[in-house]
Amino acid sequence: MTDDQRPTRRKRPTFTDQEALQFHAQGRPGKLEVVPTKPMATQRDLSLAYSPGVAVPVLAIAENPSLAFDYTTRSNMVAVISNGTAILGLGNLGALASKPVMEGKSVLFKRFADVDSIDLEVDTEDADNFINCVRYLGPSFGGINLEDIKAPECFIIEERLRELMDIPVFHDDQHGTAIIAAAGLINALHLTDRDMAKTRLVVNGAGAAGIACTELLKAMGFAPNNVILCDTKGVIYKGRTEGMNQWKSGHAAETDARTLADALNGADAVFGLSAKGAFSDDMIRSMAPNPIIFAMANPDPEITPEEVARIRDDVIIATGRSDYPNQVNNVLGFPYIFRGALDVQATTINMEMKIAAAHALAELAREDVPDEVAAAYQGTRPRFGRDYIIPVPFDPRLIHTIPMAVAKAAMDTGVARRPIVDMRAYKAQLSARRDPVAGTLNRIFERVRKFPKRVVFAEGEEEQVIRAALSFVNQGLGKAILVGREDRIHETAVQAGIDLEGRDGIEIHNARLSHRNATYAQFLYERLQRKGYLFRDCQRMINQDRNHFAASMVALGDADAMVTGATRNYSTALADVRHVVDAKPGHRVIGVSLCLARGRTVLVADTAIHEMPDAQELAEIAIESAGVARRLGYEPRVALLSFSTFGHPKAERAEKIQEAVKILDGMRVDFEYDGEMAADVALNRDVMAQYPFSRLTDTANVLIMPAFHSASISTKMLQELGGAMVLGPLVVGLDKPVQIVSLGATDNDIVNMAALAAYNIGG
Q: Look up 11 and say whether it is catalytic.
A: no
Question: At 204, which amino acid appears?
Answer: N
Q: Are 284 and 270 in contact (CB under 8 A)?
A: no
Conformational region of residue 388, where left means phi above 0, alpha means psi within -120 to 50, and beta covers everything else: beta
How many other C-beta atoms can be found within 10 angstroms of the C-beta atom of residue 490? 17
Q: Which residue, among 109, 110, 103, 115, has the nearest Cα to 28 in the 3D structure?
A: 103
Give CA–CA dist 676/689, Å, rounded. Answer: 15
Residues 172-211: b if buried by 16+ CB within 10 A, e if exposed: bbbbbbbbbbbbbbbbbbeebebebeebbbbbbbbbbbbb
Give CA–CA dist 173/3, Å, rounded. Answer: 36
Check 71, 105, 110, 276 and give the catalytic one.
Answer: 105
> Does residue 627 sit in helix, strand or coil?
helix
Q: Look up 426 and say whether it is catalytic.
A: no
Q: Which residue, among 609, 556, 558, 561, has the nearest Cα to 580 in the 3D structure?
A: 556
Q: Are 481 and 455 in contact (CB under 8 A)?
A: yes
Q: Which residue, among 533, 516, 517, has the nearest Cα to 525 in the 3D structure?
A: 533
Give CA–CA dist 470/675, Å, rounded. Answer: 45
Q: Are 360 and 403 in contact (CB under 8 A)?
A: no
How many other C-beta atoms can be found within 10 angstroms of the C-beta atom of residue 518? 11
Give CA–CA dist 427/400, Å, rounded. Answer: 6
DSSP H/E element including 369: none
How many other C-beta atoms can be found within 10 angstroms of the C-beta atom of residue 55? 10
Check 11, 31, 38, 50 and give the catalytic one.
Answer: 50
Q: Are 529 and 462 in contact (CB under 8 A)?
A: no
DSSP H/E element including 632: none
Which residues participate in catalysis according to the annotation? Answer: 50, 105
